Amino acid sequence: MRAQVRANDVIKERDLGAPIVTPERPSLITPPEVPTATVETLSALRLRWIKLNRPSPKQIDDNALYVSYFVQLFGDLPVNEVTKKQVIAFRDKLLDRPRNVPNKLAKSSLAEQIAWGATTKAPRLSRGTINAKGIGSVSTLMRIALDDELITINPCAGTRLKLDDRDVVDREPYSPAELNAIVASKIYQVPARISKAG
């Protein structure tokens, strides 16, 4: 209570213009230096993803392909340097990539595949493929980085393409005539040879 009365008296004196003794500012407290951990690159994190999740060979191949496209565009960045703008630019580049390329271009760069596609009327990657495999491959690695506290936000969040009815491929079931043609083939007529086991 006495401290409150004294504080009110000091405020009154200050309001009347009396000089008030101001306490010295305390010295700044500097936090101790924390050793900086090395942040994994996308390629290193991809190997970790394989070890942690044991994906199928197809998933490994798809992930390798799309992560390599990202690396071709921006380099093998540490995961904390990947930005949302880069993910959007990557997504937009994939919109120009042909769905299928000739065998001679299968191992070529993304830029070469896009250049070839510009000279043909070949269909482009579907928006669903870009979302699932393109952005999905990079986002998978970012989720691991997020879980390992290497990053605080997934830069792939909110970058997927919007899908509508035009993006859904209707696949009709086989007609009875088509099923009869399949079943009438030799593969179903002649018993398959089974090699001896063991």
- pLDDT score, position 36: 61
Q: Is residue 21 part of a domain?
A: no
Average pLDDT over residues 149-169: 86
Q: Is residue 96 part of a domain?
A: yes
- pLDDT score, position 64: 96
Q: Is residue 14 part of a domain?
A: no
Q: Is residue 112 part of a domain?
A: yes
Query: How far, in Å, CA of 132 to CA of 137, rounded?
Result: 7
Polymer length of the chain: 198
Give the count of domains, the chain. 1
Question: According to the per-residue pLDDT averaged within each range, which of 33-42, 109-118, 162-171 is highest?
Answer: 109-118
Q: Is residue 94 part of a domain?
A: yes
Query: How far, in Å, CA of 140 to CA of 196, rounded?
Result: 43
Domain residues for 85? 42-161
Question: How many Cα atoms within 13 Å fall on the side-chain side of residue 126?
Answer: 11
- pLDDT score, position 82: 96
Q: Is residue 20 part of a domain?
A: no
Whether 42 shows a pLDDT value over 80: the answer reads: yes
Q: Is residue 77 part of a domain?
A: yes
pTM of full prediction above 0.85:
no
Per DSSP, the three-state class of 113 is helix
Specify whether the CB–CB gap between 70 and 90 falls below 8 A.
Answer: yes
Tally of CB atoms within 10 A around 154: 19
- pLDDT score, position 188: 73
Q: Is residue 19 part of a domain?
A: no
- Report the mean per-residue pLDDT for the chain: 88
